[in-house]
Amino acid sequence: MKTPPKWKFAIMVWIAIYPTITLVQFLIGDSLVHLPIPLRTLFLTLILVPLMVFILLPGLRKVFDKWLHN
């Protein structure tokens, strides 16, 4: 299969990651505020990376498939 242009893939990733980061910060951000930034980032990435790789990006690839490859 043809690889989509990087700019289209970047837009798709942004569509997935911005609302997800916002939601996670809203849900658990207050409980992490006392931690140093490196630990906060560690916890956020432990949640966000698997969610992006295994759920959100595969789902969005199906939704945006035609647009990505046109």
Q: Output the pLDDT for position 59.
A: 97
Structural domains in the chain (count): 1
The CA distance from 19 to 16, in Å, is 6
The parent domain of residue 42 ranges over 6-68
Whole-prediction pTM value?
0.83
Task: Tell me, yes or no, whether 1 lies in a domain.
Answer: no
Residue 54 to residues 11, 33, 35, 60: CA-CA distances in angstroms?
18, 27, 27, 11
Residue pLDDT, tens place only, 16-36? 999 999 999 999 999 999 999
The CA distance from 7 to 70, in Å, is 13
The CA distance from 52 to 47, in Å, is 9
Find the helix or strand (DSSP H, E) in which 63 lies. Answer: helix 57-63
